[in-house]
Structure 1
């Protein structure tokens, strides 16, 4: 038996035979050509074929992982038409009089190197996207398209790394688990694996692929990040018991549907769901969430080629509220910037975008965008139980400006005879240490707080959460983070406001009791974690 260790990105156990994913390595040779126009025409034909392939992959991803996660393939389609990328290919063909395959390969190398050298972790990740689309164009040029053999059996797919398109293109019904020698837990492939509910381990190391071959028996433990190749009987027995216990736990969780989120001593806790698109509402209802604790409104901006107008936003918010049939829906206002870039916003390149021009800072300096969104939200408020929260707050003066703009919008609507709800709650996200520290001043001004633990962690610990090299230094249970949350809870309740947590820590059931003892009123998690958190809440006794 041989044991390898990486980073588990989806907790589950898989047992079966290994299938090594073989990329079609195409040796690109430079050849001289006389007819450069013919070579450029070949590139256009290969790009057209790539666009059709990517459209098919996008539609498959849409069904399996939802619209938000499928957007990466829309980005790939856009990159196919990028002017700089295409001009580089054409220029190499024209000036060097070389074959199309070579021109695409050199352009891919140059662009990938350029992205990799950038300081922004989000932009660094685009290097893999450039290589993915370039490999697809080259495969179409050479006719060397990768096809995995289909034996009809399920396999543990092992690879050096997997591009997002490769991950989605694999038949989910034939995949037991993913194991990659390289990769980051923030990569698109890791995110897709999580959303496909497939056990996955990344970053096992280059030696791993030298030690395995097709048909080798293995066990993947996605909880611990361990892979056991040709496991002995004791290991097999132990992990089989662990697998059965996990499956039993998931089965028991389903029995919690329709049950209350109440501790053993009778304390009620709201458990809501986080979503990034209107299309995710089905998952919220399927997993029996009590409401939506975080609706990321920026999806409307990310999907558009221009600023979404008031009517488009109003219809989206109205649909969410009507679909939730009176259950609480909390919509976060525009949170663009940092790792979420939109071309038509024309944001400047920043050395440290996570701490830069983003979220509420954009809204307050571009009030026309902010007021359009607020008008749509207030108009939609009569169709359900709406709460609105503002991200990236750091001062009382910011909140005063926000509330003043809200009053302006309400006055305009009244003057125009447009109805809105007088009971719509307004809240802020506690995601900066500054907001937590002055939460006693902020609480009297709002109805609720929602703690964004992802950003609160990176700002408190000075750790860029987009940088995979920093992962060993990120302690999400750090005393400083927990103290800031507790301080915010205490100040919220002292001033008549309620408080929830909508960041990743809300789903960390090792902290559920800690949060409830702090007085947290609501936990908002990914839909798949709702029942798991409900189970944790129902096992807490705050009398002890």
Structure 2
């Protein structure tokens, strides 16, 4: 019996035999004698065929997993048409590579760029690019994608699961997912949560211990995978299964209820979303609103700045679909790990403390103005709040508010309507913002604490540096004291304060946040009902 440890990304417990899935197309080597003109034509034909296949998968996914998960395959279509990706392939072909090898190398380069980003949503695009690359390679080489046909219920084990494979699974036969790679926001994880299937990712080389047919016990909450469990361990996991089923059933009883403690304390439970595709999960999770909508997805998936109409369409969509519930949209948070080539940001020795987020907006006013115009125009379609990241001083807030006022003046002059009750708030994610929160609270309508960056900056700890990960302590007393200070000053000024970082869904800190007076917690949609149940069972 061996216990492996990965990252649990979809709650639940499963026990069953392993079904191993291959690792995708074999490693390709350059083929000599390729004729560029012929290879370019082959690439274009493969793109066209891939588009037809993706449309078929879109329709299948629409029927089985709903519109929001199906929209992923429209994103895949966008990758097929992305100029940067296509140019990367075509340049390699012109340099003498055959089409399949060129696709392999271009898709790997694009995937590596996404994987390096410190943003779960964008890291999740890694699998999308590799999935598209694998599809094109299968078409170019005339090979078939490995079919996922299970004759009996099994735990599916793979290096990683392509989104197109995951979406077409017979969920009645899949007990759990376990993968060597992946992340909390990879589409393997998202689909697993949508389908209610336990999942553990990030097992790395330990996956080699999971041979075909071997029995395993999987806990998607703790990240444990036990190989060949003995009788006692099997009984323990069966008890966990029963407890998990009972908890889910109990939490479901809180759907539609207000998140109020027995003592009458109300706390709003909202969802963090990375893009429009996550809205359905927020609604299914019974979110009371969107506490963090990351607008940078509009910038990171393009080869040029999104114009006002493109942004308006995206913001209008989320506001309408949330049906009058508050949607907090964070303005552009590009920079550091989230790079878009067309911004032409210079290399920095310490990008986490460099030109990013609100600093870009204030130094590139036209980019900021376009986003603010789109946001205000969209505000008539729902309940909008605008949140500004990476604030460190009252002067920055004054500049932001002046920019917003200027946009409202433009819209008034043009006769374009906008809502008059748009809340303007800031993120408390730097120690400076927390320490100056008394003054900042008098300038804005709300605070939202970004615990990930607040922890990084408070503890002088680079979240991108794996060698110092053991020193990362988001529950450090210094971090909690800064949150307490911000909460006290927010309430003194009569504004609300929320938390939108990873700590928002930490059940061990819920009572602490209630004691501090936190008004709102924003988290993964799947954690909302469980957290509401916990809130409603609290005495204060």
> What TM-score do you get using the length of structure 2 for normalisation?
0.85
- Hey, what does 2:496 align to over in structure 1? 498
Provide the residue aligned with 2:364 in structure 1: 366
Task: State the partner residue of 2:4.
Answer: 4
Match of 1:395 among 379, 393, 410: 393
> 1:16-95 counterparts in 2 under 5 A?
16-23=16-23, 26=26, 28=28, 32-33=32-33, 37-53=37-53, 63=65, 66=69, 73-74=76-77, 76-77=79-80, 78=82, 81-93=85-97
State the partner residue of 2:506. Answer: 508
Aligned partners of 1:175, 1:127: CA distance in 2, in Å?
A: 23
What secondary structure is seen at the aligned counterpart in 2 of 1:378? helix
**What is the distance in 2 between the residues matched to 1:224 and 1:34?**
50
1:131, distance to aligned residue in structure 2 (A): 5.8
Alpha-carbon contact 1:218-1:228 (below 8 Å) kept = yes
Query: In the aligned structure 1, how far is the partner of 2:110 from the partner of 2:385?
Result: 44
Instruction: Please say if residues 54 and 73 of structure 2, whose CA atoms lie closer than 8 Å, have aligned partners that are also in contact.
Output: no
Superposed CA deviations along residues 333-371 of structure 1, whole A, max 9, x for unmatched, are 222333444454444444443333222122212222222
Structure 1's 128 and 408: CA in aligned 2 closer, same or farther, altered over 3 A?
Answer: closer
Distance 1:463 1:12, change over 3 A: farther
How many Å apart are 1:17 and its aligned residue? 1.7
Q: 2-side partners of 1:417 and 1:132: how far apart?
A: 46
Which residue of 2 is the match for residue 200 of structure 1? 199
Q: 1:174 to 1:86 in 2, by over 3 A?
A: farther
Task: Sort the Cα spacing of 1:8 and 1:186 in 2 relative to 1 into closer, same or farther, 3 A.
Answer: same
1:80-229 aligned at under 5 Å gives the runs 81-93=85-97, 107=105, 112=109, 115=112, 133-148=132-147, 150-168=149-167, 170-182=169-181, 189-190=188-189, 193-194=192-193, 197-206=196-205, 208-209=207-208, 211-229=209-227
Distance in structure 1 (CA, Å) of the matches to 2:60 and 2:466? 28
Correspondence 1:334-345 to 2 at 5 A: 334-345=332-343
Shift of the 403–58 alpha-carbon distance from structure 1 to 2, 3 Å rule, reads: same
Q: Deviations over 1:410-446 (max 9, x none)?
A: 3333334444444332211111222112111211111
3-state DSSP of counterpart to 2:152: coil
Query: 1:461-472 counterparts in 2 under 5 A?
Result: 461-465=459-463, 471-472=469-470
CA 1:246/1:444 → structure 2, altered by over 3 Å: closer, same or farther? same
Provide closer, same or farther for how the CA distance between residues 462 and 9 of structure 1 changes in structure 2, counting only shifts above 3 A: farther
| Whole-angstrom CA distance in 2 between matches of 1:9 and 1:351 | 33
Asked whether the equivalents of residues 115 and 126 of structure 2 are also in contact (C-alpha less than 8 Å), the reply is no
User: TM-score under structure 1 normalisation?
Assistant: 0.84
Partner of 1:271, secondary structure, is strand
Once the two structures are TM-superposed, the CA of residue 168 in structure 1 deviates from its matched residue by 4.3
Alignment of 1:476-495 (within 5 A): 476-495=474-493
Cα distance, 1:453 vs structure 2: 1.6
Q: Deviations along 1:222-262, whole A, 9 cap, x unmatched? A: 22222223322222221111111111111111111232211
Indicate the SS of the match to 2:487: helix
> Per-residue deviation at 1:170?
4.4
1:536 CA drift (Å): 1.6
Q: Would you say the 8 A contact 1:92–1:103 is kept in 2?
A: no
Is residue 2:530 matched to residue 1:532? yes
Alpha-carbon distance between aligned partners in 1 of 2:354 and 2:22, rounded to the nearest angstrom: 42
1:411 and 2:409 are equivalent in the alignment: yes
3-state SS of 1:486 partner: helix
SS of residue in 1 equivalent to 2:4: strand
**Alignment length (residue pairs):** 534
Distance 1:308 1:515, change over 3 A: same
Q: 1:341 to 1:194 in 2, by over 3 A?
A: farther
Alpha-carbon distance change, 128 to 398 in structure 1, aligned in 2, over 3 angstroms: same
Q: 1:142 to 1:419 in 2, by over 3 A?
A: closer
Q: Deviations over 1:47-85 (max 9, x none)?
A: 444454455556667756637866763564237843233
3-state SS of the aligned residue for 1:150? coil
Question: Please, which moves more after superposition, 182-191 or 274-283?
Answer: 182-191
CA distance in 1, matches of 2:491, 2:372: 27
Distance 1:402 1:124, change over 3 A: closer
